[in-house]
Amino acid sequence: MIGRTMKNPVSVLITGASGGIGAALAKAYARPGVALALTGRNDERLGATAAAASAAGATVMQRAFDIRDRAALAAWIAEVEAAHPLDLVIANAGITGGHHDRAEESIDEVRRLIETNFLGACYTVDAIVPAMRRRRRGQIALVSSLAGVRGLSHMPGYSASKAALIAYAEAIRGWLRDDGIEVAIVLPGNVDTPMLARESGPKPMTLSADRTAAIIRRGLARGRPRIAFPSPLYWLLRASTLLPATPVDKVLNRFRVTVTAYD
Cα 205 to Cα 221: distance, rounded to the nearest angstrom? 24
Which amino acid would we find at residue 151?
A: G
> 200's torsion region: left (phi>0), alpha (psi -120 to 50) or beta?
beta
Strands (E), 3-135: 11-14, 35-40, 59-64, 88-91
Which among 143, 168, 136, 94 has a CA at the least distance from the CA of 6?
Answer: 136
User: Quick one: how many helices (H) and strands (E) in the chain?
Assistant: 11, 11
Catalytic residue, candidates 29, 123, 158, 234: 158
How many CB atoms neighbour CB 82 within 10 A? 9
Active site residue 168: no
Q: Which helix (H) or strand (E) holds 53?
A: helix 43-55
In contact, 50 and 62? CB cutoff 8 Å: yes
* Residues catalogued as catalytic: 158
